Amino acid sequence: MEHKFFPLFVDLNDKRCLVIGAGNIAYRKIKTLLKYGAMVEVITRDVAEDRISELQGVKVSVKAFSEKDLENVFLVVAATNNSDFNKEIFEICNAKNILVNNMTSKFDMNARFSAVYEGESVQVAVSSMGYPKKSLEIRDNIKKMLEKNNCQ
């Protein structure tokens, strides 16, 4: 369903975040979560991206996902390449009021990642309702503007 999301800055430090799926894009999402201090766990059918196994402090379980895995989880990333399964994960998490991102959809999630500019004393997050290319372009323009005006 297409509707506006509320922009919110969330403290992920020491929060349990569960990533389901372990491919190339999951790797990028995990790196982002780690950057903000999250405790990341991965559940996957197989590890398609080897760099995930090398990440310090990330627990990887090669097993089938079950609803029990959601206990005390703050944020879930549905990161498989199976959009039907990712949608199912979204529906389960949403019903439990768990934050859930879905990397194979524009709408079937309750939390989207954004295109971020990190300055020393400013953070800018851009979302374009599910269209990341547009967000990246706007983020890059904002970055230039802030740097030009010495507003980092």
Ligand X SMILES: C[C@@]1(CC(=O)O)c2cc3[nH]c(cc4nc(cc5[nH]c(cc(n2)[C@H]1CCC(=O)O)[C@@](C)(CC(=O)O)[C@@H]5CCC(=O)O)C(CC(=O)O)=C4CCC(=O)O)c(CCC(=O)O)c3CC(=O)O
Ligand Y SMILES: NC(=O)C1=CN([C@@H]2O[C@H](COP(=O)(O)OP(=O)(O)OC[C@H]3O[C@@H](n4cnc5c(N)ncnc54)[C@H](O)[C@@H]3O)[C@@H](O)[C@H]2O)C=CC1
Determine, following the binding rule CB under 6 A, whether residue 80 of this chain makes contact with ligand X: no
Instruction: Select the residue interacting with ligand X from 133, 148, 149, 150 (CB under 6 A).
Output: 133
* Cα–Cα distance for residue pair 103/119, rounded to 1 Å: 26
* Cα–Cα distance for residue pair 40/14, rounded to 1 Å: 9
Determine, following the binding rule CB under 6 A, whether residue 77 of this chain makes contact with ligand Y: no
| Residue 148 C-beta: closest distance to ligand Y, Å | 28
In whole angstroms, how far apart are CA 55 and each of 28, 40, 80? 12, 10, 19
Contact call for residues 78 and 109 (beta carbons, < 8 A) = yes
* Cα–Cα distance for residue pair 123/82, rounded to 1 Å: 32
| Residue 40 C-beta: closest distance to ligand Y, Å | 15
Instruction: Select the residue interacting with ligand Y from 2, 46, 50, 84 (CB under 6 A).
Output: 46
Determine, following the binding rule CB under 6 A, whether residue 70 of this chain makes contact with ligand Y: no
Q: Rank residues 63 and 129 by Cβ distance to ligand X and give the closer one.
A: 129
* Cα–Cα distance for residue pair 6/4, rounded to 1 Å: 7
Q: Which residues bind to ligand Y, rule: CB under 6 A?
A: 20-26, 44-46, 48-49, 65, 80-82, 85, 103-104, 132
